[in-house]
Amino acid sequence: MENNENKPFPVNKGMKEWTKMKGENAWTMFKVISEFVEGFETMNHIGPCISIFGSARTKPGTHYYELTTQVASRLVQEGFGVITGGGPGVMEAGNKGAHEAGGLSVGLNIDLPFEQSHNPYIDPEHNLNYRYFFVRKVMFVKYAQAFIAMPGGFGTMDELFEVLTLIQTKKITKVPVILVGKTFWKGMNEWIEKIMLEQEGNISPDDMNLLPITDDPEEIIQIINDFYSSQDGKLTPNYEL
């Protein structure tokens, strides 16, 4: 019998080849699994939470920083914990509002080469660190009863549209997704409606209902409470893996 153990994989003529392939790639799976295990063991016990997305560059004392703090405080008063990305800016404001209101304050930090460091308002036992964005996103989504998107950059857009895609494709339970900041989100919302929906037909009319926009913390609370009153008040994680 021919021994193929040391034979290279066949390559189609003209196909590009790797200049270097790490031998450790298979072992990377153990790093990924360890992050999932740590996340599940912590997050399975936290109870219903709301995930807040937004820019790391938002400064204390600015409008959206203070508004995020206020929103997080109101969420705690309604019985929810708060999950953020654990860093500065909007994330810090969300954790600060939850912490000062005496509620659960969770931070899902990510190792980045130049900016991320955890803020001081996260519960020490709920301060998680991630190497991989995709593991962190699972934790953001699985344990959230609603999502609040404050103004942000590419990272905020990435998180927002991933959640919308998962809801649209029924990969997770439909939950409220609320955009906060009418001035900030107005142009994007109009583009989605005029171009995505009306001009190109790339989404359905019902998809526009997934994106309420407000500047009012009380309206945020009302949207969430109205949603769960129509769901018989049932609160469960978004999906089973």
Predicted confidence (pLDDT) at residue 116 exceeds the cutoff of 70: no
Tell me, what's the pLDDT at 84?
A: 97
pLDDT digit string, tens, across residues 134-152: 999 999 999 999 999 999 9
CB proximity list for 69: less than 8 A, separation 6 or greater: 93, 94, 96, 97, 100
pTM for this structure? 0.87
Residue 158 has a pLDDT of 95
In a domain, 195, yes or no: no
Q: Which two tokens stand for residue 144?
A: 């959230």
pLDDT band at 98 (very low <50, low <70, confident <90, very high): very high
Asked if residue 196 belongs to a domain, the reply is no
Asked if 137 contacts 159 with a C-beta cutoff of 8 angstroms, the reply is yes
Q: Report whether 116 contacts 110 (CB < 8 A).
A: yes
- Domain limits at 76? 30-184+210-227
82 within a domain of the structure (yes/no): yes
**Model confidence pLDDT, tens digit, residues 145-188:** 999 999 999 999 999 999 999 999 999 989 999 999 999 999 99
Tell me, yes or no, whether 194 lies in a domain. Answer: no
Q: What is the DSSP string of 164-212?
A: HHHHHTTSS----EEEE-HHHHHHHHHHIIIIIIIIT--S-GGGGGG--
Closest among 153, 161, 159, 154 to 139, alpha carbons compared: 159
Question: Does a structural domain hold residue 7?
Answer: no
Q: What CATH number does residue 155 fall under?
A: 3.40.50.450
163 close to 197: Cβ distance less than 8 angstroms: no
Answer whether 64's CB lies under 8 Å from 57's CB: no
Let me know: does 84 contact 107? Beta carbons within 8 Å. Answer: yes
Residue 170 falls within a domain, yes or no? yes
So what's the pLDDT on residue 14? 73
| Domain count for the chain | 1
- How far is residue 17's CA from residue 34's CA, in Å, rounded to a whole number? 31
Are 145 and 235 a contacting pair, CB within 8 Å? yes
**77 within some domain:** yes
